[in-house]
Amino acid sequence: MNNSQQKSSVLPMAIVAILFFVLGFATWLNGSLMPYLKQILQLSPFQASLILFSFYIAVTFTALPSAWVIRKVGYKSGMALGMGIMMIAGLLFIPAAKTQIFPLFLLAQLVMGTGQTLLQTAVNPYVVRLGPEESAAARVSVMGILNKGAGVIAPMVFTALILDSFKDRVGTTLTQIQIDEMANSLILPYLGMAVFIGILAFAVKKSPLPELEQEEDESSEKGQIKEALAKPNLALGVVALFVYVAVEVIAGDTIGTYALTLGVENYGVMTSYTMVCMVIGYSLGIICIPRFISQPNALLISAILGVVLSFGIVFGDSESYTIANMILVPFGGAELPDTLLLIAFLGLANAIVWPAVWPLALSGMGRLTSTGSALLIMGIAGGAFGPVFWGLTSSATSLGMQGGYMVMIPCYLFILFYAVKGYKMTSWK
């Protein structure tokens, strides 16, 4: 691009960057909200997992309708509409907190997930198309770091605004007065978030963000889906992303709930530990791929690390603090159980999977690339089902929540299979 083109894309990319941060903030806030609601509403592990299920299941039901909405109203209006829905979701938390009715919290989460899906569908194309194609990967990586960086900050903000006042209540039986007090503390933060998102939606609608050209609507969409799924590297890639998002959400959003059962007072910030590891992994990927390591090998290492860490979590000693005493305590960090930190380390194993699977799955797709991309996006639904299986397994095993993490082992094994063989397959025969 020439200088004028570069300057013209600076403001739009800044707006898109802010939206990616907002998406990450609202998404990874679940890691703090889940144990907090578990404590207030006295939820079982399975019930607590429904908080995540109701958020991520929205992708399954609203991904294709979101594409239809954007075709009707355009990308820019689609962004504003998505944030408008997110604002409504934030306001729904107010009656949910006042009544302490669990289904109302689930409805608020479902609406938040719906708004996020529409915003994601509208904002992602801007990253690729607002700039030269050859630097698109770099822009995607930067947006990914912003998203995960928001995941570091969101739990800290939640803890500072809400949890700090109730540290002394971890591991105690709450009275109704204490429950009311904790529930009511959610009202102002979510009202503030709703107002901020509403203002941002108005600003985006009035901003100089250029409208993207609409793609032609394909009349043979069903035929293209069938043709795309006939390619093993794409079909197996969809499954790989499904199980990847499942383990990513388990590692990021259940760590706080597990910390609560271990009596960790600052359970609300535990998601930040996982997100820091993801940001480190993301940065290593940007530096090392493909300069020092190929995408398939990076995926292979990620899968092996995931398997090893999963076994360590399930069979590790939750009363050992060896890791923390080596890498945290000497620098003024918290003394945390080994198993808890191993969950956080899963961020390193998870970071490279998404950017590695996409190009491998879309290799050789040609004219079916856009259809394949849409199918890969559907893999985000794994975030709905992974925590549910974790919750069910936690309730069914003698190891409790620690044993629930065994559901990640087959997920990483499938990613390992894809890294070794799946992406190379050109035929089902």
- What's the rounded Cα separation, in Å, for the pair 225 and 370? 10
- Sorted by where each begins, the domain ranges of the chain are 8-207, 221-424
pTM for this model (two decimals)? 0.81
Determine whether 105 is exposed, middle or buried from the number of CB atoms within 10 Å of its CB (0-12, 13-18, 19+): buried
16-57 pLDDT per residue, tens:
888 888 888 888 888 888 888 988 998 888 898 899 899 989
How confident is the model at residue 160, as a pLDDT? 86
296-334 pLDDT per residue, tens:
888 899 999 999 999 999 999 999 999 999 999 998 888
CA 407 to each of CA 45, 267, 404: distance values in angstroms, whole numbers, following the listed order: 14, 22, 6
Say if residues 29 and 112 touch (Cβ distance below 8 Å).
no
Average pLDDT, the chain: 85
User: Among 141-145, 256-260, 336-340, 414-418, whose mean pLDDT is lowest?
Assistant: 141-145
Provide CB contacts within 8 A for 378, sequence distance 6+.
Answer: 59, 60, 63, 238
Mean pLDDT of 86-107: 94
Top CATH class of 8-207 equals mainly alpha
Query: Domain 221-424 adopts which CATH fold?
Result: Growth Hormone; Chain: A; (1.20.1250)
Burial 10-40 (b: 16+ CB within 10 A, else e): eebbebbbebbbbbbbbbbbbbbbbbbbbbb
DSSP 381: G
DSSP, collapsed to helix, strand or coil, labels residue 333 as: coil
Q: What is the token pair recorded at 294?
A: 């190929």
How confident is the model at residue 4, as a pLDDT? 45
267 pLDDT higher than 60: yes
105-137 pLDDT per residue, tens:
999 999 999 998 888 878 877 776 776 655 565
The amino acid at residue 70 is I
Q: Do domains 8-207 and 221-424 have the same CATH topology?
A: yes
How confident is the model at residue 268, as a pLDDT? 84
